[in-house]
């Protein structure tokens, strides 16, 4: 199944220069994801966060005034509630782009945008940290899946960035590698689950409606396997009752301004 779902076909290598070329890629990807944001009924009326690629050598926590959680060490990108900005670590992003191409840019911007939504929740969420991060990955999949056709199929369908986003020792707070990949696929619309609190909590506990998909993603939980993996989905969003394609942000009660860090 996973061969059909991801194809496991390596992308043709591409050279990505530092500096202006990376900045241009970030700006281009941001514009595409902004279109996803502006066309979703749940986010269309909300301000789109500023997306900043930081200077080389400047980590995201040097710029963000939010209390620094211990779980996000090595994060390529975060949403900073204090200044309502998506912050990207240039050095770390360049390294990810060398492995996964522009799909890494799409993944880290989209997950930070998802964090911005979770910081706006006006309802009470009691999700544990792992489920909260999985929900961010799922919402990121919604943004990526709804992006205009100018975003390449490879850029939309890469699983590598989600698999390698965090180390194994962070799994209790960030979810496991296969769980993050499954969550991203869910947002894109390629699983039987949704981005709801209920489904993301179940995923964090290893329960999904299509366990075969999660079971096959488990083979990539090893660091050595995931670091070299370039997984490209061959399937696309599958319409389901009450869940058309592309998927939409549903079920979140969002306030006009962010109030807290989305990841406990």
240 domain residue, yes or no: no
Greatest mean pLDDT among 1-15, 54-68, 103-117: 103-117
Expressed as residue numbers, the domain containing 132 is 2-8+16-227
257 domain residue, yes or no: no
The structure's pTM equals 0.84
C-alpha distances (whole Å) from 208 to each of 37, 168, 180, 262 are: 27, 21, 13, 23
34 domain residue, yes or no: yes
Pairing mode of beta strands 77-80, 50-53: unpaired
Question: Cβ(6)–Cβ(213) under 8 Å?
Answer: no
> So what's the pLDDT on residue 70?
44
The confidence band for 168, taking pLDDT boundaries of 50, 70 and 90, is: confident
Q: What is the pLDDT of residues 65-112, one digit of tens each?
A: 776 554 455 689 999 988 899 999 999 999 999 988 888 999 999 999
Question: Cβ(217)–Cβ(174) under 8 Å?
Answer: no
114 domain residue, yes or no: yes
Q: What is the pLDDT of residues 206-232, one digit of tens each?
A: 999 999 888 888 876 544 444 433 343
Question: Cβ(187)–Cβ(139) under 8 Å?
Answer: yes
250 domain residue, yes or no: no
Mutual orientation of helices 129-145 and 177-188 as an angle, nearest 10°? 40
The number of domains in the chain is 1
Question: Cβ(29)–Cβ(102) under 8 Å?
Answer: yes
78 domain residue, yes or no: yes
232 domain residue, yes or no: no
Regarding predicted confidence, which is higher, 142 or 259?
Answer: 142
Distance CA 83, CA 8 (A): 39
Q: Is pLDDT at 29 greater than 90 in this prediction? A: yes
122 domain residue, yes or no: yes
Give me the chain's average pLDDT, please: 81
């Amino acid at each position: 199944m996973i061969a059909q779902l991801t194809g496991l076909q390596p992308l043709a290598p591409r050279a990505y220069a530092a500096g202006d070329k990376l900045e241009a890629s970030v700006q281009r990807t941001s514009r595409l994801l902004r279109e996803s944001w502006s066309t979703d009924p749940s986010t269309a009326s909300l301000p789109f966060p500023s997306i900043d690629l930081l200077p080389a050598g400047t980590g995201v926590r040097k710029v963000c005034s939010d209390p620094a959680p211990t779980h996000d060490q090595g994060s390529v990108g975060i949403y900073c509630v204090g200044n309502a900005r998506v912050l990207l670590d240039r050095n770390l992003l360049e390294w990810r782009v060398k492995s996964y191409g522009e799909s890494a840019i799409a993944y880290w911007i989209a997950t930070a945008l998802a964090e911005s939504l979770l910081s706006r929740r006006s309802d009470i969420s009691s999700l544990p940290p792992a489920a909260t991060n999985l929900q961010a990955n799922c919402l990121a999949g919604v943004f990526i899946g709804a992006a205009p056709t100018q975003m390449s199929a490879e850029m939309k369908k890469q699983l590598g960035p989600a698999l390698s986003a965090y180390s194994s020792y962070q799994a209790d707070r960030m979810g496991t590698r296969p769980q993050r990949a499954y969550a991203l696929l869910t947002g894109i619309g390629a699983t039987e689950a949704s981005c709801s609190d209920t489904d993301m909590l179940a995923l964090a506990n290893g329960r999904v409606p299509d366990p075969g998909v999660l079971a096959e993603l488990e083979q990539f939980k090893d660091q050595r396997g995931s670091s070299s993996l370039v997984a490209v989905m061959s399937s696309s969003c599958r319409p389901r009752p009450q869940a058309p394609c592309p998927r939409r942000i549903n079920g979140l009660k969002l306030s006009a301004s962010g109030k807290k860090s989305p990841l406990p």
